[in-house]
């Protein structure tokens, strides 16, 4: 039991993840008699992770065949990889937000469209050919991490899941992924949240490169962060690392982080027009592995935010600053005001 003060049992299995970065959390719910045995995320489909999950579940006297429901926070392989295998053994439903369902189900048309988007994006971002080849080779080497394709059941924002021991509410929080969803529940001192990769304790979730389907990725993510502040979650259980004891404060910190990063992007453009790849080089330096995608993707998300606000113009692959010393505060939520509203009685 991760917290004896909760009204239900909450198990946690930490799963290694060498293909991407950071251990993954698999949460185990419905451990009480008569409750629906449920996993929130399943980890990447690798031999080591499979063994870790089997051994972790055994500590709760569970095997894959005992799982009665899987709830997925989003389509990335480090959260979904073992879902199909578990479903094949147990027959359990695999629930995922409708926006990410085709990718989790590995629908051929959706997968082909995603690959086309990727190739177009990295070219439009100005990524050098040798780095494109390096990225594609890394992704090809990680392809098996998706595991067996499950049959998925979709949900929408606001749908609920009654597990018998606790009721979860699906909360759509796009940005990092188009269909990223958390699961809110009544916790120890108020409403808590399984936050997936929407809210992480030590680093900021990538926007722009993590899911190239998302239009206005930064804008959508900022809206999700404001919602986290407004709902005043008292604790969040993220997809990686330990619980977050002040979710509104962490969300506010991430908003401020992105405001500062946008200022750095503007600083790069002060020296003249630049492509997303050139901006990312100034922000992050040399990139390797999955960061070859995430770096320029994040730069593009910030450039797109500036473009939508009329602060920059785009010609071909390059972005050019239209005004010196733009008012960046107007492009971001008012964090103190959001925190004040969230803490007002009745919110």
SS3 347: coil
How far CA 305 is from CA of 76, 241, 293, 300, in Å, comes to 24, 29, 18, 8
Confidence check: pLDDT of 42 > 90: yes
pLDDT > 90: percent of the chain: 87
Using a 10 angstrom Cβ sphere, with 0-12 exposed, 13-18 middle and 19 or more buried, the burial of residue 317 is middle
Angle of helix 108-124 relative to helix 129-141, nearest 10 degrees, comes to 150
278-287: burial string, b at 16+ Cβ within 10 Å, e else? bbbbebeeeb
- What is the pLDDT averaged over residues 232-260? 95
Residue tagged 């929080």 (tokens)? 173
Bridge partners of 235, per DSSP, are 192
Residue 347 pLDDT grade (very low, low, confident, very high; cuts 50, 70, 90): very low
* Per-residue pLDDT tens over the stretch 93-119: 999 999 999 999 999 999 999 999 999
Average pLDDT, the chain: 93
pLDDT at site 312: 97
Q: Per-residue pLDDT for 19 more than 60?
A: no
pLDDT at 330 over 60: yes
Position 338 confidence tier, pLDDT thresholds 50, 70, 90: confident
Q: Whole-angstrom Cα distance, residue 269 to residue 324?
A: 10
User: Residue 219 pLDDT more than 60?
Assistant: yes
How far is Cα 123 from Cα 296, in angstroms, rounded to an integer?
Answer: 11
CB 239 within 8 A of CB 79: yes
Average pLDDT over residues 326-344: 79
pLDDT at 6 over 60: yes
User: Where residue 81 falls among pLDDT bands split at 50, 70, 90?
Assistant: very high
State the pLDDT at residue 342.
55
* Percentage, residues of the chain above pLDDT 70: 96
- What local confidence, expressed as pLDDT, does residue 222 receive? 97
As a whole number, mean pLDDT of residues 236-245 equals 94
The H or E element spanning position 116 is helix 108-124
- What are the C-alpha distances in Å from 157 to residues 12, 20, 33, 170, 172? 25, 28, 29, 5, 5
CA angle 101, 107, 112 (to 5 degrees): 115
Q: Give the whole-angstrom CA distance, residue 302 versus residue 136.
A: 24
Q: What's the pLDDT at 21?
A: 56
Which pLDDT does position 336 carry in this prediction? 80
pLDDT category, 346, cuts 50, 70, 90?
Answer: very low
**pTM as predicted:** 0.94
pLDDT category of residue 341 using cuts at 50, 70 and 90: low
Residue 2's pLDDT band (boundaries 50, 70, 90)? low
Which of 328, 327, 162, 184 lies closest to 247, judged by CA? 184
What is residue 345's predicted lDDT score, i.e. its pLDDT? 35
pLDDT digits (tens, 9 = 90+) for 45-67: 999 999 999 999 999 999 999 99
Q: Which of the two residues, 297 and 141, has the higher pLDDT score?
A: 297
At 65, list the tokens: 């065949």
From residue 57, alpha-carbon distances to 38, 54, 193, 308 in Å are: 11, 5, 22, 47
Q: Which residues contact 14 (CB under 8 A, 6 or more apart)?
A: 23, 24, 25, 26, 52, 56
Per-residue pLDDT tens over the stretch 122-155:
999 999 999 999 999 999 888 788 999 999 999 9
Measured N-to-C along each axis, helices 291-308 and 276-284 cross at an angle, to the nearest 10 degrees, of: 120
Q: Output the DSSP codes for 222-287.
A: HHHHHHHHHHT-SEEEESSSS-BS-HHHHHHHHHHHHHHHHHHHHHHHTTS-B-HHHHHHHHH-S-
> Count of CB atoms within 10 A of residue 156's CB?
11
Q: Is residue 120 classed exposed, middle or buried when 0-12, 13-18 and 19+ CB atoms within 10 A define those classes?
A: exposed
pLDDT at 1: 55
Q: Are 289 and 131 in contact (CB under 8 A)?
A: no
Region 237-248: mean pLDDT is: 95
> What's the rounded Cα separation, in Å, for the pair 17 and 22?
6
């Amino acid at each position: 039991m991760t917290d004896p003060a909760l009204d239900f049992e909450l198990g946690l299995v930490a799963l290694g993840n060498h293909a991407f970065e950071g251990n993954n959390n698999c949460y185990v719910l419905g451990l009480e008699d008569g409750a629906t045995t449920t996993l929130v995320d399943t980890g990447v489909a690798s031999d080591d992770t499979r063994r870790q999950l089997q051994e972790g579940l055994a500590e709760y006297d569970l095997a894959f065949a005992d799982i009665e429901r899987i709830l997925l926070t989003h389509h990335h392989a480090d959260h979904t990889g073992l879902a199909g295998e578990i479903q094949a053994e147990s027959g359990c439903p695999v629930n995922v937000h409708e926006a990410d369902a085709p990718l989790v189900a590995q629908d051929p048309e959706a997968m082909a469209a995603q690959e086309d988007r990727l190739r177009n994006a990295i070219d439009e971002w100005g990524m050098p050919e040798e780095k494109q080849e390096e990225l594609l080779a890394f992704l090809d080497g990680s392809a098996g991490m998706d595991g067996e394709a499950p049959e998925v059941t979709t949900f929408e924002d606001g749908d609920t899941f009654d597990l018998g021991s606790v009721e979860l509410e699906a909360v759509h929080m796009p940005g990092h992924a188009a269909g990223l969803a958390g699961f809110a529940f009544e916790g120890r001192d108020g409403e808590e949240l399984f936050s997936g990769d929407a809210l992480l304790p030590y680093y900021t979730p990538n926007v722009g490169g993590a899911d190239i389907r998302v239009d206005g990725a930064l804008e959508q993510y900022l809206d999700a962060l404001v919602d986290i502040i407004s709902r005043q979650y008292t604790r969040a259980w993220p997809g990686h690392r330990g619980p977050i004891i002040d979710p509104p404060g962490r969300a506010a910190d991430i908003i401020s982080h992105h405001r500062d990063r946008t200022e750095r992007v503007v600083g790069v453009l002060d020296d003249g027009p630049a492509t997303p790849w050139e901006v990312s080089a100034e922000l992050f330096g040399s990139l390797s592995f999955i960061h070859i995608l995430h770096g320029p993707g994040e730069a593009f998300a910030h450039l797109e935010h500036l473009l939508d606000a009329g602060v920059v113009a785009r010609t071909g692959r390059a972005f050019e600053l239209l005004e010196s010393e733009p008012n960046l505060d107007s492009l971001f939520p008012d964090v103190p005001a959001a925190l004040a509203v969230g803490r007002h009685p009745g919110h």
